[in-house]
Structure formats: structure tokens, C-alpha cells
Structure 1
Amino acid sequence: MAGSANLNVMMKTARKAGRGLLKDFGEVENLQVSTKGPGDFVSRADKAAEAMIMEELMHARPSYGFLGEEGKEIEGEDPTRRWIVDPLDGTTNFLHGLPHWAVSIALEHKGQIVAGVIYDPVKDEMFYAEKGGGAWMNESRMRVSGRHRMIESIFATGLPFAGRADLPETIQDLARILPACAGVRRFGAAALDLAYVAAGRYEGFWERGLNAWDIAAGIIIVREAGGILEPINPEGDVIADGQLICANEPIFETFAKVIRKA
């Protein structure tokens, strides 16, 4: 797909960040790690990746705002546009040597995500989408799964850790969904969970307690791949509330009813 200038900048930047992170991943045992909070670790590599991404994006588009996981939000001269970045989604996987993590970059315009890139350097899989341009993985067009039956479907979620308040809700979710489906996966990287729904690898995904940078790029990638994505609370807002549910069209309504019974 021939993308816009903005999308090309995002993809180039994600690849550059990915190359740096791969080098650190190869020496994961030697990384200097500091604690950001219970169960939430941040590495020197994470911070360096965000600094590099910010430098690249702000050099290309100096008037845009910037929201990243590791630093303060930057208000741009253009108040209608901002980058939303997770330099290393799946940090805990990264620090444990698990090869499942990604770089996530989104562009927001007037409150709507208009472009998104999720790059998995370990597998060299680049998931990307632009409003109206469809969703892609490397050079292949992506579509959500075509399965129609819950019992044949696999779903993904995140499991709360370290005493997070949404643990009881998630346990109730699992009690309802597990008997109705072919399985639930918890791989520890929300951006890749969304990318995998877009690629048809999962039929659906739900999670609470997420941040804007975890999900911004995945939102447009899922929707451009033909998926339905909504807040778990129908009256809520995905980015502001940090909770969402998504699936292919044939399964979405049934899946949403199961999760929303909470």
C-alpha cells in the first residue's frame, strides 16, 4: 500500500525504534531496570526508544503534539493533531526474554485516530492502517476472521496483576466466556492483541484498565480490517476510559453481550 507522508514517517520511525530494541533484547539479562509501580517495569531501552521516536516524529512534524508512555504530554502548535506512542508494548515480556512485544505509533486528528502502526521487530511484522485505506500486514491486506460461531472462536484479553481493582470483573468475564468459546489467550501486549484481531488470528479481544498509548494504533487497524470496536460501557469512550471490546461483525453482538453482563 502506498501510504501518506505521515504514515511513511510512522513506519520508518517504528522500524528504527524496533532495531534498537532488538539489540537490547539480545542482551536482556544485562538491562538496567527500574520499578515504575507494582508489576509495571520500565527499562532503559524503553525510555531510549521513546526519546528516539519523539525526536524523529517531532522533527518530521514539529507542530504536532506528542503523548507517550514515559514522558509528559507535549502540546503542539497545531492543537488538532498529536502523536500517541507506546515505544515498547509488552515491557514485562521484553524483560523476561519473551519474544512478544511491539512498537505502537498512532496519529490523532480532532479527537479521531486517523493512522496507526504496530511493529513487531522479532517477527518483522508491520501492521498498519490509515483512515479509508484498509489494514495491512507488511505487503498483505488484512481482514478480520470470518468465523460465525462463538464455540469455534478464540479471544484475547489481559489479566489484572498486582492487586489491580478490575480483577473481580475479569474473573467474572472468564467464567462466562470460557464455556462459550474455543479458548482465551493472554499474551501480554494489548497492541499486538488488536493487531491479531485485525489479521484474523483472534476473533475478538476485550480488556479494561488500558492507556491511550496501548490501544490508539490498534483502534484504526481493527476498524480498517472490518472489525467492530466499542467501549465495554456503551456510553463510554475507548481512549478516555481505557476499556474496549472488539470482534468480527458476525460474532460481535453475541460476544459483547457475554462481556457486558458484568
Structure 2
Amino acid sequence: MKKDITVPRNARTVAIGAALQAARIIMDYFGKTVQIDAKQHHDFVTEVDRRSEETIIQYIHRAFPDHEILAEESGRHTNVSPYRWIIDPLDGTTNFIHGMPMFAVSIALEVEGDLKVGVVYEPIRKEMFVAEKGKGAFLNDRKIAVSKTSEHAHCLLATGFPFRNFDMLDDYLRLFKFFMMHVSGIRRPGSAALDLCYLACGRFDGFWELNLNPWDMAAGALMIKEAGGTITRFNGGDGFLYRGHVIGSNGLIQSWMLDAAREAFKEKTDEL
């Protein structure tokens, strides 16, 4: 008989503590000149990303030394463990570099492939988003829920532009144009983690993006589900976390968004 793997009782507390400690480092550097390296075209990393990530990993491993880590800058720290922490130490690095106050720390715990805990902290506004599977989603300890907007003309959507891979840029722009013509507005804030949290708390009604990484969306995806929303692949299926192409919404407009994506991406949709 397979042993049931439980979530550590202090997992949420550890995730919050790690996010707060990393945020202190980030804010110490914000607005100052920092060392910047290019990972690839349009994709940057700073000394702040690295310091923040090191701090988070050390904090988590003090509590859970045997847990696996999947982090943006240092990759996978492999342990034979059913527990995997998925970390983005500074989501919105380009915003941070340019002094734009729109970035966050994102930490999630996955247990045997199932997201269980998610924390996203935005240090400028001091907004702490927390979700636990089966226990709801919260913003600064207040329970949150997705919007109830169902009329497309009243919806505010968010997205992220393709910047690593331009193979599907024309398809993306076709979908962007369709949404632009049918909704009240589209925003591109520059932090997928925050986009998903803003969807979870009702600030946005829908979101779509291509080529995300697990650390960009793990915590935010759990936030949406626990707030009553829906998040899927472009074909409507699950498994988006490690494929990278996602459409999320308050649930009321999900079918409409998926239909629009199928029309824009045609036969490619089944692969997304």
C-alpha cells in the first residue's frame, strides 16, 4: 500500500518567511545600480536575483534539508524526495532593473506533482498572497476570490509578450488583436506571478501567456484555483506547469478564451 505523503505543517510559514527575507534583500537594492547579465536575448539576471535565490534556498533547507529545489537561476537541486520547492527569487527582473515597482518573490511547494502551497510577495505594496490546497487563497490574511464578470466587453485581461521564442508570435498577435477588440482592456505588467495573483483576487478577469517556466506560475496557479478560478493549457487540458502555455480566468470566460485561442493558433492548439 502506497504511503500517503502529507504536507509539512510549517510549510506555509517557511514559505512566507523565506519570501520576506528575500524581499528585504531585493528592497535594499531597488533603485540602485546593480550588476546585470544577459541569460539570452531579452532575458536578464542580476546579482539581486542570485542573492535572493540563495537566501530562499538556505531558508527552506534549514527547515527541510531533504527537500528538492527547482529554482530559476541555479536550476534543480536534486534530492530523492516527493517534495519539490519551485522558486522565482525575483519575478519581474526587467521591471526591477528599470526602477519600475512591479516585481515579486514567488515560492511554491509541490508534493508528488501536486501543488500544495503557494506564496507570492510584492514588497512595494507589501502584498502577501498565500494559498494552500483545499484551504483557500488569501491576500494579507483576507480571503480572496476571482471576479464574477462574465460579459466580455467588461473584462480586463492580462498577458505577457513572447520574448524568448518568436515562433508563434504571429499566432499570439492574432489572439491579442481578437481580445483587444472584444474586452475593456489588456494589461502587460511584466510579472506573471503577480498577473496570476491579480486574477485570483479579482483585479483581472483573464490571463494568457506562452513559454512560461514552472517558477513563473506555480504559486500563482494554485492561487487562482483556490480563489475559485480556472487555469489550463491552451487546449483546455491540465499539465500546463511544465509545458509553459497557459490560459487562466475567473472560470466564467474560460471557454470563450479557449475558443479564441483555438481560432488564433489553429492546428497548433493541441500541442500547447
- Give TM-score, length-normalised by structure 1: 0.95
Corresponding residue number in structure 2 for 1:67: 70
Corresponding residue number in structure 2 for 1:258: 260
Listed one character per residue, the Cα deviations across residues 205-246 of structure 1 (whole Å, up to 9, x for unaligned) are: 010110010011111100000001111133562112101111
Q: Please, which of 14, 32, 35 is the counterpart of residue 35 of structure 2?
A: 32
The 1:65/1:97 distance shift into structure 2, 3 A limit, reads: same
Corresponding residue number in structure 2 for 1:16: 21
Corresponding residue number in structure 1 for 2:184: 182
Choose 194-203 or 251-260, whichever is displaced more.
251-260
- Give TM-score, length-normalised by structure 2: 0.91
Q: Please, which of 10, 18, 21 is the counterpart of residue 5 of structure 1?
A: 10
CA RMSD of aligned residues (A): 1.4
Listed one character per residue, the Cα deviations across residues 56-88 of structure 1 (whole Å, up to 9, x for unaligned) are: 00111111100000013011232x111000000
Corresponding residue number in structure 1 for 2:3: none
Q: Please, which of 221, 227, 242 is the counterpart of residue 225 of structure 1?
A: 227
Partner amino acid, structure 2, of 1:237: G
Choose 243-252 or 155-164, whichever is displaced more.
155-164
Partner amino acid, structure 1, of 2:13: N
Listed one character per residue, the Cα deviations across residues 6-64 of structure 1 (whole Å, up to 9, x for unaligned) are: 0010001101101110110131xx21111111111110011010011000001111111
Following superposition, the deviation at residue 163 of structure 1 comes to 6.2
The separation in 2 between residues aligned to 1:50 and 1:222, in whole angstroms, is 24
What SS class does the counterpart of residue 115 from structure 2 fall into?
strand
Corresponding residue number in structure 2 for 1:160: 162
The separation in 2 between residues aligned to 1:24 and 1:223, in whole angstroms, is 33
Corresponding residue number in structure 2 for 1:203: 205
Q: Percent identity?
A: 38
Structure 1: any 5+ residue segments left out of the alignment? none
Corresponding residue number in structure 2 for 1:84: 86
Answer whether contact 1:156 1:202 (CA < 8 A) is retained.
yes
Partner amino acid, structure 2, of 1:8: T
What SS class does the counterpart of residue 191 from structure 1 fall into?
helix
Corresponding residue number in structure 2 for 1:101: 103
The separation in 1 between residues aligned to 2:168 and 2:29, in whole angstroms, is 33
Corresponding residue number in structure 1 for 2:57: 54
What SS class does the counterpart of residue 155 from structure 1 fall into?
strand
Partner amino acid, structure 2, of 1:107: L
The 1:235/1:145 distance shift into structure 2, 3 A limit, reads: closer
Answer whether contact 2:235 2:258 (CA < 8 A) is retained.
no
Partner amino acid, structure 2, of 1:248: N
What SS class does the counterpart of residue 99 from structure 1 fall into?
coil
Following superposition, the deviation at residue 260 of structure 1 comes to 2.5
Moved beyond 3 Å, runs of 4+: none
Listed one character per residue, the Cα deviations across residues 168-187 of structure 1 (whole Å, up to 9, x for unaligned) are: 12101112111111111101
Answer whether contact 2:145 2:227 (CA < 8 A) is retained.
yes
Corresponding residue number in structure 2 for 1:234: 236
The separation in 2 between residues aligned to 1:236 and 1:109, in whole angstroms, is 16
Structure 2: any 5+ residue segments left out of the alignment? 1-7, 266-272
The separation in 2 between residues aligned to 1:232 and 1:68, in whole angstroms, is 25
What SS class does the counterpart of residue 12 from structure 1 fall into?
helix
Answer whether contact 2:236 2:258 (CA < 8 A) is retained.
no
The separation in 2 between residues aligned to 1:55 and 1:104, in whole angstroms, is 15
Corresponding residue number in structure 1 for 2:47: 44
The separation in 2 between residues aligned to 1:37 and 1:244, in whole angstroms, is 22
Number of residue pairs matched by the alignment: 257
